[in-house]
Structure 1
Amino acid sequence: MSSNLKALLWDVDGTLAETERDGHRIAFNQAFDALGLPWRWGVLRYGELLAVTGGRERLLHDMARRSDAPILPAEREALARAVHQRKNALYGEIVQAGSVTLRPGVAELLEECRSRGVRLAITTTTSRANVEALLRANLGPSWAAWFEALVCGEDVRAKKPDPEVYTIALQRLRVGPLQCLALEDSPGGVAAARGADVPVLVTRSAYFATAPIEGAIAIGPGLDSRVGWHPALADGDGADRVTLDDLAEWHRRMDEVSALG
């Protein structure tokens, strides 16, 4: 691996795992039911709400359009906190039951990084409890040893697309932005990484399969396939997935890569 790539910085929701449609959305609906609220978020509506970063913020945005939501801002805030707390607990149960798994190719790339000395970090603005539940269920009880930095929603004042999550991760890792590669799935995540001058690769997710993306060094359908990537991948010496060498080559060539759509 001849590039200057020292660390991979991983987004979680949509990137590490397809958590949104069949994880967080389901947990929100279960929380509404548990708290006696006659609200339900369908697949399409939840996709619209993903334009708002953060589960509590999503709730407040949705309540602003509901005639049956509390009128006073303080009451809305209290209800959003209660729903979000219940939802996080329910999401943990969904994940623990094995209903949300890592996206294909993710575990293999994580293992490859560990064996070859490329450092790993989590850079997400979802809650720490959600991250811990997902990684414990999929990587086992010693999951925390895999990552040298874990930056979550509780660690930042501003969520993505603000770059704060990335600037904190760089500080904790003590590396420069151009020594890293961020893995994201959404325009907001890409904007956050680029705002911190971190090169970014996009693995498109269910909710952002056709979203316009600008400024990524590579865009593709997932780490488990070498087909459909831009820039295109060369023959992988028998590999049928995206490898660390592929990421290193894109990283090495990033100055040649213009914005991709």
Structure 2
Amino acid sequence: MNVETLSVLLRPRRLEDRIVQAAALVFDVDGTLAETEGIHRRAFNAAFIEAGLDWYWDYRTYKKLLRTTGGKERIRAFARSRFPRVCLSDSVVIALHQRKTRHYGRLIAQHTCRLRPGIASLIRNARARGQALAIATTTTSSNIDDLLSVALDQNWRSLFTAVVAGDDVERKKPAPDVYLEVLARLKQRASDCLAIEDSANGLKAAIAAGIPTLINRSEYFRDDDFSGALAVVDDLTEFGLIPAAGVNHLEEMRFEKVWPDRND
């Protein structure tokens, strides 16, 4: 029995009810809303070239580095692994990460990165039901804006009641800080919300904050341990199709035009 079949069998029969009845849906960003980790990897490599470094992160290297949350933290982790006796200063790490951030924004705009399947419909129907939407991520605020200004539109912030990034809290995932801050801003109980994540670190963070979690499994984290998740799915298409009574036709048409679900 493969993982996908087992996931379906173990899924609560009324997972749809958990989605519909949640006071708020709280989304991770990278890998969850869009498959962006490959773009992050390319941006890091472009920054290394620009800085005159002979570093290169291939797929396998970056997959291992993703166990460390945060871009600046990954730079430090890689430097320690290659040069154990060298400690990069904060100013060097920050400057290198700023280069990477600029390249990420360029690549996102160049490739018109889109939302993963089902995400647009899920957001649309959640808003029609009157549910709050929030973001809890370890990426930076500028990365969120670069992505969602392209994948949604320039007014994407108006859709979310709370947006908490990695630079807004002291500790990044798997610590629960971003989720605890989101709950404080939403003024909601953890058990009344639903987190949507793609990685084991994200799952651990949400569970530590007491939030039930649905895993939208992504490219780089497909083989993570998702024990404790409500369910594990490969995309959110079926959940985006949960009907919402009273959707304004013009509003639905606008969402469909601006937010195509698929990456083709």
Question: What range is the shorter-chain TM-score in?
Answer: 0.7 to 0.9
Give 2:105's aligned amino acid: G
Bigger relative contact order, structure 1 or 2 (CA pairs below 8 A, ≥6 apart): 2
Q: Give yes or no for contact 2:112–2:151 (8 Å, CA) kept in 1.
A: no
**1:11 matched to which residue of 2?**
28
Determine which of 102, 109, 123 is the counterpart of 1:110. 123
Cα RMSD after superposing both structures: 1.7
Give 1:182's aligned amino acid: A
| Count of residues paired in the alignment | 226
Determine which of 235, 238, 243 is the counterpart of 2:240. 243
Bigger helix fraction: 2
Determine which of 109, 113, 119 is the counterpart of 1:96. 109
Secondary structure of the residue aligned to 2:228 is coil
Q: Give yes or no for contact 1:123–1:166 (8 Å, CA) kept in 2.
A: yes
1:92-135 per-position Cα deviation (integer Å, ceiling 9, x unaligned)? 11111234321111111111111121110000011000001100
Determine which of 36, 41, 47 is the counterpart of 1:25. 41
Give 1:12's aligned amino acid: V
Q: Give yes or no for contact 2:24–2:192 (8 Å, CA) kept in 1.
A: yes
Determine which of 197, 208, 223 is the counterpart of 1:210. 223
Alignment of 1:163 onto 2:176: yes
Determine which of 28, 34, 42 is the counterpart of 2:50. 34
Any unmatched runs of 5+ in structure 2? 1-15, 244-264
Give the Å deviation of 1:158.
0.3
Percent identity over the alignment is: 42
Given the superposition, is the C-alpha separation of residues 101 and 70 from structure 1 closer, same or farther in structure 2, using an over 3 Å criterion?
A: farther
Q: Give yes or no for contact 2:29–2:137 (8 Å, CA) kept in 1.
A: yes
**2:69 matched to which residue of 1?**
53
TM-score by length of 1: 0.83
TM-score by length of 2: 0.82
Q: Give yes or no for contact 2:119–2:240 (8 Å, CA) kept in 1.
A: no
Give 2:142's aligned amino acid: A
Q: Give yes or no for contact 2:46–2:103 (8 Å, CA) kept in 1.
A: yes
Give 1:216's aligned amino acid: A
Given the superposition, is the C-alpha separation of residues 2 and 104 from structure 1 closer, same or farther in structure 2, using an over 3 Å criterion?
A: closer
Give the Å deviation of 1:208.
1.0
